[in-house]
Amino acid sequence: MTLPISETDFDAVIIGAGMSGLYQLIRLRELGMRVRVFEAGGGVGGTWYWNRYPGARFDSESYSYGYSFSKELLAEWDWTEHFAPQPETLRYLEHVADRFDLRRDIQFDSRVRSAHWQEEGRFWRVALEDGTTATSRFLVTAIGPLSAPTLPRIDGIDSFNGESCHTARWPHEPVSFDGKRVAVIGTGATGVQTIQEVAKTAKQLTVFQRTPNWCAPLLNRKIDKEEMVRIRSTYPDIFRRCQETFACFLHTADPRGTFDVTPEEREAFFEKLYAEPGFGIWVGNFNDILTNREANAQISDFMARKIRQRVKDPAIAEKLIPRNHGFGTRRVPLETRYYEVYNQPNVELVDLTETPIERVIRSGIRTTARDYDLDMIIYATGFDALTGAFDRIDFRGVDGRRLKDDWSEGAETYVGMAVEGFPNMLMLLGPHTALGNIPRSIEYNVDWVTDLLRFMRDRELTRVEATGEGVEAWMEMVERASEGLLSNEVNSWFTGVNTNIDGRHNRRLSRYSGSAPSYRERCNAVAKEGYKEMLLS
Ligand code: NAP
């Protein structure tokens, strides 16, 4: 028997009040739905609420990152830097929550423990950590692709006497490094931002590096009022461009291949990109650097020369040059005087491939070479990416199927937004959606989900589920989209590897790496054909 909508507590429950949850709430309210958002944190903002570590900021241009759906919001919000720092972005999202009066439907400090599908009445029963429950016809997950932090598997972490913290669980109170001996473990995008900031004031900073990454200059600048007026006048162009590019960034690949030009022209082009802000050097480079080994070797060699020029001690420079992967085959961290940090007398680089960490001890970190006495350890060790946030909630679908079990060998989704066996559950930024400049994907995913729910409301349908065939076809597309990418041969969260988690040491197909326009084309076709590929009743 199907319950009339009014017999569930809510028409939709959204898990998470980050960028995707907030926008989904706005859209579902427009459908007249009764919505409740459950948010684990004490405030809105998701990624920008949790990641308060020093130096956290955008790597996408601020004005390409904000929401595009509201002309009024675009008209009233001024970005003050080309790549806004975390406090500014959090203020922006708090402003959005206030402006659209969102908080009245958000329950904070409410971590969802489980969500169980009730086939009989066609609704979800959602339970929070505190034991309270709610029922809802639809469940929308807005839990983020990089939101479940992972600590390293190192013995003795709890025995350390000083302060320690994962970057994604940074305290809300100011943290001073003055006069302190600080360690940072991890040199991904987060570690790089943290290191360059901590190095400014710490008495001693020791960086424990397992794998160096290819970092490129961010070249951030302030935006004054006048420039903001000019940027605002180009918003339609900015967002149109983001719709057209491969990964929704302002940058797009050069039409030329690396070897279509002379060595001199190539060098000049690399220099030009190196001197420009943002991701241009990664996603606006020659069109073959991420697929052609020889082309990739050219840009990698250029980047290695830059590191050697910027780091004074040649031995340290060599340690900072990646050996096991080419440029751009992992996420490129953007940096501001990162390499120069290693010229400072208060900074030491420990290469964990030479002297691995044995354990954390009461006074600091013990490597195979020596003990490092420390006041603070910062873990910039990343996330259980893409599926980690799902694994942490006990999702049960039809016949009590556990999502975590179904996904134990890797996630399987339908256009990244639905899962066979989990009716009425829709995922924003689930595995296999287009990522890239994430808010652009968020707006697309939210609008797609909203259109589906509007379609169902108008036809008085109460159940939607992905089919096995639909999932299979989509997973084939995901596989095809990744063919030929050099990044497939490299360990990183792109390929589902996290050595701190059991069963995640081998590479797998974990994300959609095709273009955002092709992704949208596919999803638009599904909608246009009346969602025939899905089971609707
Ligand atoms: P990450 O890229 O996964 O980097 C984790 C780092 O920790 C790596 O250097 C890793 O070394 C190291 N590590 C992990 N376990 C270790 C262990 N047991 N011992 C020693 N080292 C260990 O994580 P992230 O830097 O937090 O970045 C994740 C993603 O978040 C980025 O790729 C990006 O998409 C996003 N992000 C975005 C921004 C932005 O837009 N501004 C900023 C930060 C992050 P290995 O490489 O050897 O595994």
| Percentage of residues in the chain having pLDDT higher than 90 | 99
> Would you say the CB of residue 388 lies under 6 angstroms from ligand 1?
no
pLDDT in tens, 463-483: 999 999 999 999 999 999 999
User: Does the C-beta of 41 come closer than 6 Å to ligand 1?
Assistant: no
Please name which of 507, 500, 487 lies closest in space to residue 330, comparing C-alpha atoms: 487
Q: Mutate which of 366, 379, 381, 487 to test ligand 1's pocket (most atoms within 8 Å of Cβ)?
A: 381
Percent with pLDDT over 70 in the chain: 99
E strand spans, 410-506: 425-427, 464-466
Kindly tell me if the per-residue pLDDT of 1 is higher than 60.
no
Residue-level pLDDT at 174: 94
Above 60 in pLDDT, residue 15?
A: yes
Q: Sorting pLDDT into bands at 50, 70 and 90, what band is 101?
A: very high
Q: What is the pLDDT of residues 290-316, one digit of tens each?
A: 999 999 999 999 999 999 999 999 999
Q: Which atom of ligand 1 is closest in space to residue 331's alpha carbon?
A: 32
pLDDT of residue 473: 98
Q: Residue 2 — pLDDT band, cuts 50, 70, 90?
A: low
C-beta 335 within 6 A of ligand 1: no
Given a contact cutoff of 8 angstroms between Cβ atoms, the answer to whether 153 and 499 are in contact is yes
What are the backbone dihedrals phi and psi of residue 343, each rounded to the nearest 5 degrees, phi first? -90, -5
Q: Does residue 331 line the site of ligand 1, with CB under 6 A?
A: yes
Answer whether 0.95 is exceeded by the pTM.
Answer: yes
Q: Cβ atoms within 10 A of the Cβ of 248, count?
A: 29
Output the pLDDT for position 5.
59
Q: For 110-150, what is each residue's pLDDT tens digit? A: 999 999 999 999 999 999 999 999 999 999 999 999 999 99
- Which residue, by CA, sits nearest to atom 38 of ligand 1? 189
Q: At 443, is the pLDDT very low, low, confident or very high (cuts 50, 70, 90)? A: very high
- Give the model's confidence band at 10: pLDDT under 50 very low, under 70 low, under 90 confident, else very high: very high
The protein residue with its alpha carbon nearest to ligand 1, atom 17, reads 152
Is residue 381 lining ligand 1, measured as CB closer than 6 Å? yes
Mark residue 483 as left, alpha or beta (left: phi above 0; alpha: psi -120 to 50; beta: remaining).
beta
* Cβ neighbours for 62, distance < 8 A, ≥ 6 positions apart: 79, 81, 82, 83, 84, 88, 223
Ligand 1 atom nearest 186 alpha carbon: 7
At 4 the pLDDT is: 62
305 touches ligand 1 (CB under 6 Å) = no
- The stretches of 102-209 forming alpha helices (DSSP H) are 189-198
Q: What is the mean pLDDT of the chain?
A: 97
Distance separating alpha carbons of residues 208 and 344, to the nearest angstrom: 16
Contacts of 139 (CB under 8 A, 6+ apart): 12, 13, 15, 115, 124, 126, 424, 425, 426
Question: 281: part of which helix (H) or strand (E)?
Answer: helix 280-283
Answer yes or no: is pLDDT of 45 > 60: yes
Structure letter (DSSP) for residue 354: T
- Pocket of ligand 1 contains residue 416 by CB under 6 Å: no
Asked whether the predicted pLDDT for residue 384 surpasses 70, the reply is yes
Per-residue pLDDT band at 535 (split at 50, 70, 90) = very high
| Nearest ligand 1 atom, CA 330 | 32
**Does 117 contact ligand 1 (Cβ within 6 A)?**
no
CB of 189 sitting under 6 A from ligand 1:
yes
Q: Which two tokens stand for residue 530?
A: 């009346």
Q: Is the CB of 152 under 6 A from ligand 1?
A: yes
Q: Residue 6's pLDDT band (boundaries 50, 70, 90)?
A: low
Please state, in angstroms and rounded to a whole number, the distance separating the CA atoms of residues 166 and 379: 4
Distance 501 CA to ligand 1 centre (A): 14
